[in-house]
Structure 1
Amino acid sequence: MTGFSVDTKLFQELGELLVSKESIALVELIKNAYDADATVVTVTGVNIGDAEHGQIIVADDGVGMDGGEFRRGFLTIAGRTKNSGDRRSPVFGRRYTGEKGVGRLASHKLGVVVEVQSRKAGPTQRGAAALPSAVSEVNAHIDWAAIEALETLDQIPTSGAVTVVESSKPTKPESGTTLTIAPLRTAWSGRMRTSFLQEAATLAPLPVTWKKLPDGVVAEKLLFDALPIRDQQSSDPGFEVIFGGDLSLGDQLLPDDAAAANWIAEISFDRDSGKLAIALAPTARELRDAPNAEGFRFEKLLGKNAGPSFSARILQLSNNSWTEEISGVRLFMEGFRVSPYGEPRNDWLGLDNDYLSRAKRALTGLARLDADRVPEGLDSEGLTTQGNKNYLGAVFLHRSSSPGLEMVVSREGFLPGAALDFIADWTRVAIDLIVRFKSLARNKPKEVRTQERLAQRTAANRSDVNETPTALRVRENAMEVERKFVNIAQAVERNDFQAAAREAKELQPSLSEIRDMADQFGSEAVQWRVLASLGTELAAFVHEINAVGLQISVLARDLEDALTMDDLARTRASIRKARQRALDLADRIRRNATYLVDATSFEGRRRRARILPRESFEAVRQFFGSRIEQKGITVVNDIPADFRTPPMFPSEVSGIFTNLLSNAVKFTDVGGRIEVTARERGGFCEVQMSNTGVAVDLSRARRFFEAFQSTTERPDAVLGQGMGMGLTITRAFVQEYGGEIDFVAPPPGFATSVCLRIPVR
């Protein structure tokens, strides 16, 4: 019968093909220990500088193997033991890190002979906290040189090149497997050992890349407490790798302090939901150097199965670099580093390339984000890009949720493709966000130029009483632009293109001045409107402060009375009552302070975002809480918890609710009802506030949006009459985004209703 004959050279060919270097060979053996439910694996080098007398010993405390498992697993090349069943380890339920059954060829890469001693643990159930004692032992001898001296694999069983001895009496009670590899194929030079130690330092992720960050490192919460580095069960006691002998890491100190970083970013993508999330925040160290630094949070639905699931944490240094052993952003599959990503001279994210070509001044990765969510960067931000040495990071992958990621045969990275590009692209987006926000935080506000100051003074001298100096400058520049365009048109008609070009060049200063003033007005307009909006509610604020002051006086009197009581029980009861009242007052002051900060702080108008209006309305409602309580009004917040506005400044949303609720409280009858709703309809974000009490004549209602047209015919006892500016300011907020606002027919049971509509896009 005719069949295949396999030459023993197969082992040499497979070993060179599948395991490219010694460090990868050791990683494969360590992964085998992890898959075997080991909690500790020790890798020891003995005299490795001498190939003939050197040894490498890999010992673990895992479940071990009996004779049958040794033959099916270790002696079966490309076996299927990790491809069947649920592909998890037998006791701790770990997701297998290997699946091709070729890890044992790692011993061929390292040495000529391998001695295997494996003690098999007794039977136990999945989820146990520890392994039982050993019940059997296997001792095997594999002589790779003797195998390769044969012609075919068929000759191995009778050659003595491989021997296996089984025993039902283990030499030690503890289970586990020990591989002793000697002699070595290659004498480890000093350079080889140094290179290995550098790689071994990041074989497992540094704690700073996945453990909970210490309190106070970042002021803003990121995405994770601790990142999920492995697909494992809660009963898993953990896994540790110890290097000893000539392979000992010694006293090598690796920076592992999150507080040393300037910025920290985290990324999460779930392929089942298609949700991507990115968050970054300045550290306390960065805030000392750049007090204006602020964090950023972004979410986007990319679609189910858009790429592999992954999570990541990246730490950035501004004026220094991480040590070479740990710098770079590395990839980890089930908690084991995938070479060569993030290693020195590996630029899988293109950071070094962009650092060397900073003249481009472009953060191209940010084009993947919605433009209305990301603040515009400075023209010079590209000059602040940094290379790999300024980043320390880890990207964590799980085998079960990483379809499309396939190892190259040499175990040196993944095959190029869409899955790897997906991870690289979004990781780079997070880094580009760090660059942008770092650049914005450290950019000093430009001073008013002397030329600008003189131009403003000249305009002030020439403007009349009916016009501001700035308005005069805008009008005169606009007239100059108009005149230049007329000259250009006339020059083009007579084919005098040189004159047209000259006029166009002379036009530039006027356009630049108009643009600069427009930028200034645009950045200030929101805050002026917010302050004006708050001013319209000054009466309510004054009343709130007076009410708090009155209650504090009452509290002080109650405490004074408690001191004069003879009955200890009554004294304690009175003090407890006063304590609770003080806590209530503190909470009331805190709520009002929160509202004022939201409404007037720079944070409230620094960056537009998709606001949760339900939360904004609640903050405003508490500000009017005392008057609402006095009138016995029921306020219903019927805005869905997950509903968001189009991108707006937080202070704008607060200002809108402040003015609308103030009017509603004034006009609602005692014991009445106020209701606010929100929905998306016809491409618009629609918010409607309705109240009982006094009705508004819809035919005349539009006039109330004009300045100084107060809706209040008689003053409210607490909130006052009003300045007639609240609805005017609210309309300005809404119209800023191309929206509209008006009084509308109220729903059943209500007297008045105001509805605003802002385009979603």
Structure 2
Amino acid sequence: MTGYQRESLSFSVDTHLLRELGALLVGRDSTALLELVKNAYDADASVVTVHAEGLDKPKTGTLTVSDDGNGMTYERFKDAFLRIAGRDKEGNRLSPRFGRRYTGAKGIGRLAAQKLAPQLNITSIPRRDAIRGEKIETSTGVRATLDWDRMESDHDDLSMLGDSLTAQRVSIDDATRSGTTLTLSGISDVWSSGRLGPFIREIRACRPADIFIQGLPRKMVDKHLLFDEPIVREHGESDVGFSLDLSGQFEGGDELWPSLAARSSWVVEIDANEDGIKYCVSPTKRLQASLKPPSTPTWARKYEFAGEHPNGKNGPFFQARILVIENTLGRRTTPLARFAYTESGIRVFLEGFRVLPYGSLGDDWLELDRDYSRKPRDYDTNVDTGPLKPIENEGYFQLGNRSYYGAVLLTERGAPHLQALVNREGFVPDEYFDNLKSIVRTGVDLSVRARASLQRRISAAERADARSGQEFKPEEDPIKPRNEAETPNDGTAEPNEINQAYSDAEFADDIDEDIDFPRSFGKIDDTITEVLSLATNLRAELATTELRDRSTQLLSLLQSVQVDVAELRDEQLTLRTLAGVGTQFTAFVHEINGLLGQAQALRSLLSNFPEAEQIANLRQRKALRALQESSDELVQSLTRQMSYMTDVVGPDARRRRRRLNVTDRVESAIRVLAPRIADKNIRLENAVSVAILTPPVFPAEMSIILTNLLTNAIKFVDAGGTISVDARLGADMSLHLRIENTGVRVAKSDWSRFFRPFESSTTNVDVVLGQGMGLGLPIVRSLASDYEGTASFVTPSPGFSTAVEVVLPDPRPDIARKNQG
């Protein structure tokens, strides 16, 4: 052998590694963006703002992620940010300022930015106070640019990137705001609605909704169950909290969780710790109030169970809250129904951040859809259920993923052995993950048993009534099980294929125009009524428990269909009319806008004429003065109408619900109707306090409610009459809006009739407002219903003939009380 000497060598790293660890490693766009948000959280930010613009146009898209966290010095950027897979977050894995448990561990999260855009611009200003035990005195911030494409195309060694990665120092002083701004630019591809929609939904859902991490509303349950506020994340006492703001093309959306939670029938809570597992299954007040004779509200009771942890040493230890919604959610096209469809599922969060894909549409990690389809007869819960004994064929009461809404809240301390997959989506399916699934699924199964027990008791009482000769009336049963998907969502089907009910509207154009809808609905109604009667009689004669259970399910489904058909019949007539009106209204808006421009031009032209007093001819002077006054009045009238139309159809009219000043909205509606009020010499009393705010509502819908009610009142009242508008807040902070008038009294026997479509409440034709189509009050009631509210005639105050009151509950009365001072 020759005497060659041993040499020390080292790896060289090709620039292609950046793509492997960034764009190719991360599966979803939302996961890539979430990695950047998590970095801001780890940097002790209290607010992170994500702004998007130009994503719908080629080569103009920009994403900006800015925070108010600790920031970076130039030295830290160079030594830590640019060090791939660094060990900076090893050892003491708590953030220096707020003591937060770090969400990042591998040191490659920032490379995910490459998946979203080819260029990353960074501006970072460090905090001046002590960070990581060292007080910053003379350090500088950093401004840097990383061109991912050029790094790979122009260079082949990560240690020599030339001008594809540049940085400069930024001077700082005491007045400079700390934090980091990441600007992702040069997005070349166009984000279609099909790509942008799911992305936005996943980003908005990256944090658990308040209903899962705050105390349950007292109108939902009497008191807290296993816990008031669950443990969501690990942090120090000085932590001020963390919020995520979306702006630009990410802005919008509606916070409908309070409304959705108000529809829930059961609440499940799970507390898994070293001492064991506790479960609580509780009915909501809504479910209890819905139970009518022969059942009673006390039949729906709370259950608590305890069991051993499958691994009391290593966990996982966590808390969870799950809502069960077994009722229908009304019209499938309402914002609430659509929101429920996209937000359904039991989701998993680690240190307060979503772990995809658990709980997403198409994901069946708890095998709920599978069992909904197979309908196993019994469940083995491995928990001593005490008085809640196993129910024969309880599996028939199983629901699919779309009926559950929940959050499983993990912390790294409580679940240190759960290992994230390399693409940051999900956990390794080992025994620890199996234990997590088993614990959560047991909580769901216990809720199924509780529901089955209640329904079995109700069925027994109904059979007893039937044997005693009392007729069972299915329509009185308020419990309407949802029409779940018969095809399990295994991820291969599109949402509309999973539940055909959501796609029926897409084929409305295929319906024969010659069909007589009212007559068709009547035939359907008659058929359902006949089938219900036969099914009721058949159930009383069935001998086996299994067949009786199946017949009970059949009756419940038929009841749901009967209610839906009745609602659909009324709404179909309304919508067919409104469809035509809406098309004409769109053209009308453009016409009004054009007329306003012409009127303003006419007024400008008339202003160039000599003053009327300078014209010698008396007749011409009067004519010019009248023309000028008429043009002013026309401009004012058209301006009022355009102001109202902007409220109703403007870009912000239905973008986000918000609290509105009731007085301002009333005054806006009065301005629109001011000419007719003056013509009839009506005295209008606005008694609304300037301090009263609405619950969160769409501005457009509040304007529609007020305008319809005021228009009706003006038609009712005689010349010289009085209209009163008043509002108050109830003890539960619900808004009570009342409009009264001194016109024709409406008989109590007609109070319900006038809220049906095309039942006009006025008999005399108003020369300006017309007689109407009988849609005003139904529209008001429909809008109020979407907010869980009511609209109805009420007994008027002394001196008035007719009164209509709209009640809108407040989903967050605590915030309402704070706003009222």
Give the Cα separation in 2 of the matches to 1:215 and 1:449.
35
Distance 2:452 2:83 in 1: 57
For 1:83 and 1:24, how far apart are their aligned partners in 2? 22
Following the alignment from structure 1 to structure 2, what is the Cα–Cα distance between the partners of residues 171 and 189?
44
Q: 1:339 to 1:111 in 2, by over 3 A?
A: same
- Structure 2 runs not aligned, ≥5 long: 1-6, 292-296, 330-336, 469-542, 545-821
Which structure has the greater CA radius of gyration?
Answer: 1
Aligned counterparts of 1:274 and 1:150: Cα–Cα separation in 2: 59
Out of 296-305 and 199-208, give the one that drifted further.
296-305
Q: Equivalents in 1 of 2:390, 2:466: separation in Å?
A: 26
Kindly indicate whether residue 353 of structure 2 is the aligned counterpart of residue 342 of structure 1.
no
- Give the Cα separation in 2 of the matches to 1:385 and 1:3: 59
1:113 to 114, 119, 141: 119
Alignment match, 1:11: 18
**What does residue 215 of structure 2 align with?**
212
Corresponding residue number in structure 1 for 2:432: 419
The answer to whether 1:153 aligns with 2:166 is no
**Distance apart, 1:167 and its partner CA:** 2.9
SS at match of 1:183: strand
- Report matched runs for 1:265-284 at 5 Å: 265-270=268-273, 273-284=274-285
TM-score by length of 2: 0.51
* Aligned match of 1:717: none
Structure 2: distance between partners of 1:253 and 1:448: 39
Match status 1:408 vs 2:408: no
Distance, in Å, in 1 between the alignment partners of 2:95 and 2:261 is 33
Partner of 2:558: none
- CA–CA distance in structure 2, aligned partners of residues 451 and 285 of structure 1: 27
Work out the CA distance in 2 between the residues paired with 1:332 and 1:206: 11
Q: How far apart are the structure 2 equivalents of 1:390 and 1:132?
A: 53
Number of the residue aligned with 1:530: none
In structure 1, the residue matched to 2:554 is: none
For 2:75, what is the secondary structure of its paired residue?
A: helix
* Whole-angstrom distance in 2 between the partners of 1:66 and 1:120: 6
Cα distance in 2 for partners of 1:12, 1:295 equals: 53
Amino acid at match of 2:400: G
Distance in 1 between residues matched to 2:129 and 2:249, nearest whole Å: 36
Note if contact 1:310-1:395 (Cα within 8 Å) is conserved in structure 2: yes
Please list, as runs of the form range in 1=range in 2, the aligned pairs for 1:327-476 lying within 5 A after superposition. 327-358=344-375, 360-364=376-380, 366=381, 368-370=382-384, 373=386, 375-443=388-456, 444=458, 445-446=460-461
Aligned-residue offset at 1:300: 2.4
What do you get for the CA RMSD once the two structures are aligned? Answer: 2.9
Residue 137 of structure 1, aligned match among 141, 163, 169: 141
Measured after TM superposition, the shift of residue 370 of structure 1 is 2.4
- 1:102 maps to a residue whose letter is I
- Residue 699 of structure 1 is matched in structure 2 by none
Query: Structure 1 residue 435: deviation in Å?
Result: 1.0
Identity of aligned residues (%): 37
Partner deviation per Cα, 1:266-296 (whole Å, 9 max, x = no partner): 11111xx332111121110111124201111
Distance 2:425 2:465 in 1: 60
Question: Are the aligned partners of 1:55 and 1:181 in contact in 2 as well (CA < 8 Å)?
Answer: yes
Displacement of 1:258 in angstroms is 3.4
Matched residue type, 1:10: L
Shift of 1:259: 3.0
Q: How far apart, in 2, do the equivalents of 1:325 and 1:450 lie?
A: 41
- Assess if the C-alpha contact under 8 Å between 1:5 and 1:152 holds in 2: no
State the partner residue of 1:745.
Answer: none
CA drift at 1:71:
1.9
Which residue matches 2:657?
none
Q: Is the 8 A contact 1:139 1:165 kept in 2?
A: yes
How much does 1:448 deviate?
Answer: 7.5
Is 1:226 matched with 2:229? yes
Residues 128, 174 of structure 2: 8 Å contact kept: no
Cα distance change, pair 452–206 in 1 and its aligned pair in 2 (3 A)? closer
Q: In the alignment, is the contact (CA less than 8 A) between 1:201 and 1:325 conserved in 2? A: no
Cα separation, 2, equivalents of 1:71 and 1:179: 16
Q: Name the residue aligned to 2:780.
A: none
Q: Alpha carbons of 1:65 and 1:256: their partners in 2 closer, same or farther (altered >3 Å)?
A: farther
What does residue 200 of structure 1 align with? 203
What's 2:287 paired with? Answer: 286
1:334/1:398 contact within 8 Å kept = yes
Give the Cα separation in 1 of the matches to 2:277 and 2:463. 42
In structure 1, how many angstroms separate the alpha carbons of the residues matched to 2:155 and 2:172?
37
Q: Which runs of 5+ in 1 are unaligned?
A: 454-511, 514-761
- The superposition leaves residues 284-337 of structure 1 with CA deviations (integer Å, 9 ceiling, x where unpaired) of 011112420111111223353252111000011111367123211100000000
Deviation, 1:220, is: 5.8
The verdict on how the C-alpha distance between 1:87 and 1:206 changes in structure 2, with shifts beyond 3 A counting, is same
Q: Do structure 1's residue 35 and structure 2's residue 42 form an aligned pair?
A: yes
* Residue among 309, 319, 322 paired with 1:311: 319
Cα 1:209–1:133, aligned 2, differ >3 Å: closer, same or farther? farther
Q: 2: CA distance between counterparts of 1:451 and 1:58? A: 65
Q: What residue in structure 2 maps to residue 245 of structure 1?
A: 248
Tell me if structure 2 keeps the 8 A contact 1:199–1:325.
no
CA distance in 1, matches of 2:462, 2:26: 61
Mark the CA change 1:156 to 1:249 in structure 2 (over 3 Å): closer, same or farther.
farther
Q: Is the 8 A contact 1:112 1:183 kept in 2?
A: yes
Shift of 1:105: 0.8
Deviations 1:138-172 (A, max 9, x none): 00111111100144325534x11111111333696
Q: Whole-Å Cα distance in 2 between the matches of residues 8 and 324 of structure 1?
A: 43
Taking the aligned partners of 2:439 and 2:414, their CA distance within structure 1 comes to 17
2:21/2:112 contact within 8 Å kept: no
For residues 138 and 392 of structure 2, the distance between their equivalents in structure 1, rounded to whole angstroms, comes to: 67
CA contact (8 A) 1:43 1:241 kept: yes
Q: CA contact under 8 A between 2:125 and 2:140: conserved in structure 1?
A: yes
Give, in whole Å, the separation in 1 of the partners of 2:344 and 2:462.
38
SS of the residue 1:16 aligns to: coil
Partner Cα separation in structure 2 for residue 39 and residue 138 of structure 1 = 21
1:493 aligns with none
Counterpart secondary structure, 2:163: coil
Q: Deviations over 1:687-741 (max 9, x none)?
A: xxxxxxxxxxxxxxxxxxxxxxxxxxxxxxxxxxxxxxxxxxxxxxxxxxxxxxx
Residues 100, 306 of structure 1: alpha-carbon distance in 2 compared, 3 angstrom cutoff: closer
Conserved 8 A contact 1:133-1:175: no
Give a deviation string over 1:667-704, Cα, whole Å, max 9, x none: xxxxxxxxxxxxxxxxxxxxxxxxxxxxxxxxxxxxxx
Matches of 2:75 and 2:236, distance apart in 1: 27
Question: Is this contact kept in 2: 1:134–1:174, CA < 8 A?
Answer: no
Conserved in 2, the CA contact under 8 Å of 1:90 and 1:126? yes
* Cα distance change, pair 51–274 in 1 and its aligned pair in 2 (3 A): farther
Instruction: Please name the residue that 1:258 is paired with.
Output: 261
Name the SS for the 2:268 alignment partner: strand
**2:101 pairs with 1:88:** no
Q: Report the counterpart of residue 757 of structure 1 in structure 2.
A: none
Alpha-carbon distance between aligned partners in 2 of 1:69 and 1:135, rounded to the nearest angstrom: 10
Q: Aligned ranges for residues 588-603 of structure 1 at < 5 Å?
A: none
SS of residue matched to 1:396: strand
Relative to structure 1, is the Cα distance of residues 208 and 132 closer, same or farther in structure 2, using a 3 angstrom cutoff? farther
Evaluate the alpha carbon distance shift between residue 27 and residue 448 of structure 1 in structure 2; reply closer, same or farther with a 3 A threshold. Answer: closer
Aligned to 1:50: 57
